[in-house]
Chain A
Amino acid sequence: MKNKKFVYFVLIPIFLHMLIFIVGPIIAGFAISMMDYNPLRDTNSFVGLANFKQLIGDPVLMKALTNTLMFVGVTVVLNIAFSLMIAQLVSIFKSNKIRAFFRMAFFLPCVAPLVASSVVWARSIYPTATGLANMMLKTIGVNPVNWLGDPNVLMWSIIVFTIWVDIGYNIILFSAGIDGIPTNFYEAAEMDGASAWHKFRFITLPLLGRTMTFVIIMTLISHFQMFAQFSVMVLKSGPQNSGLVLTSYVYKMAFELKNMGYASAIAVLLFAIIFIITLIQQKIQKVDWDY
């Protein structure tokens, strides 16, 4: 009994913190989404679901939603595939030092501030006339690509950058997960004549279940909320809104157009999407937590 009281007592500060800085703002966001809210006005009127009705008929929102789903769908799948593949390749090395070196090398982009990396790519790698990417293409006789100015290419450019900048974190997680798999499974498989692919498919992949669940959920949530690269690398919203995602639309509505009620409604929509996808993903991927 005393222990329980002590535990509750110790947890009070963190719960208070969550209540004030996480739960409170979420509830406030819901409330604002039902108002015609300009923070500079003394009074703001309650409009019920009018902001949500406006969502349905807003073609720019549909474009932002489509862009967001495409970005998240493609980037998360590729991110997880590449990071798992690289983690597996790194784990082949017997030397701990070599493994540590490669993990550090892949993790470096994660350490740099996302805004700084975005600026470097936008100003040095992607520019059409002077960028490194087109210089390299020129050496192999390929015509320059308008990486950030062509509506058909822009989102793919952002996807490539995002994979580069984010993959290191998942590589570390998968590496830790792979290292945690008991080696006797692989020894037994080798004795049975299993190939590298078979070992990966029937041992590594299933036993990475809990790591995979965590990686997918965290990657999905973080990618839905990504904003920095869209803010820095995309000029305004991109040609024909091809670089507009839900987070940048929320920012635009709230701080450029001062329509915080509608911005909050979009944020509620984003919250609902992330919530539903996370629930579905958890349902599909029920994990056996024991080896």
Chain B
Amino acid sequence: MVSFKKSMLWRVGIVVLAAVMVEILSIVQYQHVRKALLEETELRSLLVMKDMAEVVQHTLERTEITLRENLWDVKRSMVHPDSVFGAMVRLIDEDPNIVGACLAFRPYYYPSKGRLFEPYASLQPDGSIKVDQIAGPDHDYTRNEEYAWVLETLSTSWTDPYKYGPDSLAFTTYLVPIYDEVGQIDAVCGLDIDLSWLGDTLNTRQPYPSSFGLLLTPEGELVAGPSKSRTPETEVKHVVDLLNGVIPASQVPGLSYSTTKLYKDPYWQVVEVYKTDEVYARVRHQRRQQVFFILLGLVILMFMIDRYARNERHLREASEEKARMGAELEVAHRIQQEMLPKTFPPFIYGSLEPALEVGGDLFDFYTRDGKLFFCIGDVSGKGVPSAMLMSVARSLFRILSQKVDSPSKVLEYMNKELCQGNDSNMFITFFVGCLDLYSGELRFSNAGHDKPFVVAKDIVLLSSKSNLPLAVFPNTQYEEQTCTLEPGTLLLLYTDGLTEAKNMDREAFGRPRIQNVLEQFRIGSDQSLYKLVSTLSEEAHAFAGEAPQSDDLTMLALRFDPEYNRQEQITLVNKESEVTRLGSFVKDFLEPLQLDKKLAAGMRLALEEAVVNVINYAYPVGEQGEVLINADTNGHEVRFTITDSGYPFDPTTVLEPDTTLDAQNRPIGGLGILLSRKLMDSISYNRKDGKNVLSLTKFIL
């Protein structure tokens, strides 16, 4: 259990470590991708700005070309001050980018116009062109820095973008000096270019929905930007403030921008603004997906580990359960083996080898009243269910055959009992025999069991009539048969585990092989029954070879052997002194049995007490009477029969004396019969033909 927990901990640890590593990898990758993405975005905005720059440059160049191409027209118009207006209008007509054109003459160029003269044409919102002379005390262009700068440097120039007018439109003005034939400057031509469209152009091809481009003056003043519908003014203002350092960068997190210089003039700047959130949005989405999959994988992995651990636990539990079952089966096996007779008198021997731990076969025997009761049976099926039914059958046989001598009756009663509640439809083939150990008379009844072999001079199968097995129908009648065995005759009972023991080729052991073995056990053979059973078992196993034992292997062999039967008798008269003769008689009779001293003494005492009882009380005082004592044995038990013609008296009904009283109150009467009872295995009384017949039996094995 401890090692299991450890290994579980280990596994979880590995998974967590793996997960952490995957996560770290994913974070590194994410950061890397972010950086790459940011770089790419900057590159993209540079490209956008380059496009922008080209567009603006193209626009401005076009204006420059327009002026160059129309310079002759402007110069020609200068012949008369009023014709200048027409030239200005034509310039506006020529180039849609030009929204205003003026010509600022050097002071007193037209004496008639005074010091300052500046004809100006401008495009009106309704598309018409308005002309005007705009110079005056309020508007002295000679004080204009740019005008002065042109005069000083004698070069063309573009003004910085500026805002002008009620709508705060953004403009730039192209300033070109106009020379006369000798190279003196007559005037400066100014062409106003509306830049407000630049804001729209800057923002038509933005890479992200919320990114935007700005055009700023060198002073950082906003010239053009996204439309109000695209980006809120406050946001634009925010960025402009940021660029001008009005607010620190820390106040606008998540905002990123690139700036680039525009056109030849270093004072223009275009700003591309985008939000990092948006830039990272897709990669963040991917990252979220990645994390989700990692977590999912982890969960699946944990689930798998859990399942694995569970399976392992089940396996372990199953194997523990199996071990426990094994242990219980081992106990069941022992119990079942203990039910089988273990000590065998010389005339009978049996063995049972279960195919599984427990089996459905059984055999049993015992002797009663000089008769050997024996049985062999085979419960259908194998294993625990069979074994349980087998135990029931064995108990029933024991109980019933104690009271009933007739094998068919025993079967009948057993069958009735076994049929009750036999829902599993198991059945038992069963053979019951009762052999009179003195006469050799065999009574038997066969409930569907294999016919036993009878080995006398010939080897034959006992011609038994087959009745239905036990536990089939409750009212089955079992036929009983009788035969008499010759002395020396051997009977072999077996279950189909012997005849049907299979080898690897699925051949059965069969009866002929049994018969071969039995050849050596014909009448006259002094080979032991143990030898027979063990030989058959060995042969069957040798035959089966590697093939597993498929069924219980059970055999019971018995021999009618009057060699062990002995019977002696003595007649005493009713005098106490006769007890001495009785003592010698018993000692002589028991001598050949070579019994344990205590056992022999006990039997002698039991008999003496019973006989003394008769001597003392059976006959009227003074009347001579006889006591006949018969002793017999079959090698398995010793039986004394005491017969007298005295008063009818059944000593078995005498109450036992109280053996716990103190010496003064201790009665002595009844002690004798107590000793007889205690020292013998059974004691029975019969009144027969006017005689008392008392039987005392003792098993001697």
Do A and B form a real pair? no
